[in-house]
Every structure is written in structure tokens, then in C-alpha cells.
Amino acid sequence: MDDVTGKERDPTTRSYGPTRPFDGAQAPTIPDAFKMIAQTANSTASEFPQINPDICIVNYYTNFGKLGLHQDKDESESSLTKGLPFISISIGDTAEFLFGNTRDKDQATKINLESGDVLILGGESRLLFHGVSRVKTDTAPSWLKEETGIRPGRINLTFRQY
Ligand SMILES: O=C(O)CCC(=O)C(=O)O
Ligand SMILES: [Fe+2]
């Protein structure tokens, strides 16, 4: 697998760079094992191009966590024009995930993203509005809690190519 230097995202300016904004630390590379999972998932969605991820955003949601409807459009113009997919992996408690063509949550479609679910938005769906309306308390698989001691809440990883 190619060794692509990771990028850090500055949530304030919504831009990507080689270093972490608050302390200047170099962005680490994405572990090969993580990349492998993302790229294997990517290859099952054969209608979308294959990416070589250089960004992995990790979001942790407590059981009160939410994320408003938004579009992911901070990646390069070329990446967005080509509709390069992002691959999202959910771990822990189930999320109620919304997506739609506008920012209006009343018109959005609601699905559950359970632990282990993979969601891929690419091609024409790359710029869909999406967000998390709630995280459902104590819905993580019991084996996951027992084997890892994962704390309550949800972890989401999204892999992208800048
Ligand atoms: O947590 C999720 O499922 C979505 C995360 C997301 O939309 C993002 O990081 O841009
Ligand atoms: Fe997003």
C-alpha cells in the first residue's frame, strides 16, 4: 500500500494541512490495517472510484452527541469533481443518521447506523447533506463492550482522499 502522509483538519477554518493546528504536530500516516478495511469496503462499491485515503477523521459522540446536516466539501476540487467516495465506519452505540438533498432535516431520510456498519457516499451522492440526529444509549453489541471496554457512545471514522 502507498504510504500517504496523513492530513490534519482544522475544524475552525474547515481546511486540511500537514500539521495539527493547536500544537503543530505532524499528521500521522493512517495505519495500514485501517486503510485496508476502508479500501476493501470501497472495492465492494464498484460503482465508485477506488481511493487511496490520506485523511481519516475520527469523531467521538457521547450519548448526547449530534452532528447537524452538512455537506462534506472541504476536500480538493478534483476529488469532489471526480466524486471520490468517503467511507464511513461506525463503532459502538447506534446512530440515527439523516441524509437528503437539502439542509432541511424534516425532508431527510433517517437510517440507523449500527456498530460495524459501513456507509459510502460517492459519485452523485458525494455531496448529499448528512448528519447524526441522535446516538441511542446502550445499543453497542455486548461482545464489543466486554472485549474492548469501549466507553458509552459512538466512534465514527471517515476515510477520504484529499
Ligand atoms: O458520524 C457520522 O456518521 C458522520 C460524520 C460526518 O459526517 C463527518 O465527519 O463529516
Ligand atoms: Fe460529513
Domains and CATH numbers, the chain: 8-160 (2.60.120.590)
Q: Grid coordinates standing for 140? A: 453497542
Confidence category of residue 6, pLDDT binned at 50, 70, 90: confident
Q: How far is the CA of 131 from the centre of ligand 1 (A)?
A: 6
Task: List Cα–Cα distances, 29 to 1, 2, 19, 56, 112, in angstroms.
Answer: 12, 10, 12, 9, 30
Atom of ligand 1 nearest to the CA of 95: 3
Q: Where are the beta strands (DSSP E) in the chain?
A: 8-10, 15-17, 55-61, 67-70, 86-92, 95-100, 109-113, 118-121, 129-135, 154-160
pLDDT at position 142 over 50: yes
Distance 99 CA to ligand 2 centre (A): 10
Q: Would you say residue 2 has pLDDT above 70?
A: no
Name the closest-CA residue to atom 2, ligand 1: 156
- Tell how far the Cα of 150 is from the centroid of ligand 2, in angstroms: 23
Q: What are phi and psi of 147, to 5 degrees?
A: -80, -30
d(Cα 87, Cα 159) in Å, to the nearest integer? 5
Indicate if ipTM > 0.95. yes
Looking at per-residue confidence, does 136 or 29 come out higher? 136
pLDDT of residue 11: 83
The finding on whether 133 has its CB within 6 A of some atom of ligand 1 is: no
* Nearest alpha-carbon partner for 105 in 125, 129, 124: 129
State the pLDDT confidence band at 24, using cuts at 50, 70 and 90: very high
pLDDT at residue 3 greater than cutoff 70: no
Measured between alpha carbons, how far is 62 from 59 in angstroms, rounded to an integer? 10
Which tops the pLDDT comparison, 2 or 148? 148
Task: Kindly tell me if the per-residue pLDDT of 131 is higher than 90.
Answer: yes
Q: State percent of the chain over pLDDT 90.
A: 88
